[in-house]
Amino acid sequence: MVPADNDRSLWERFSHGLREFYVAPYRRTFARARREEEDLFMVMVLAEALGVPNPVSYYTIELLPVIYERFHDWHKRQGMDSSPLEYLACC
């Protein structure tokens, strides 16, 4: 008879294998969707700073310290060689 620990590890390995089988083909799609959502979020938060009227700027101003850490990667991904904001020189 097989010990219970061995059965559990067998089922865990089987479960992990099935998860990889179904998720692996879509991993790139999920990553692209996550990047696109992050880009949209950055535009929403930085809209006022970029000169676009933002009706929810009162709420998004609190998120600016979080955004500054990822700002350089974002503006490079958007095709801007340098920071579009005058007061934020990251390059």
What 3-state DSSP class applies to 59? helix
The CA–CA distances, whole Å, from 83 to 3, 50, 76 equal: 61, 11, 9
Which pTM does this prediction carry? 0.57
Largest CA distance in the chain: 71
pLDDT in tens, the chain (91 residues): 455 566 678 899 999 999 999 888 899 999 999 999 988 888 888 887 778 787 777 777 777 777 777 877 888 888 877 777 766 667 6
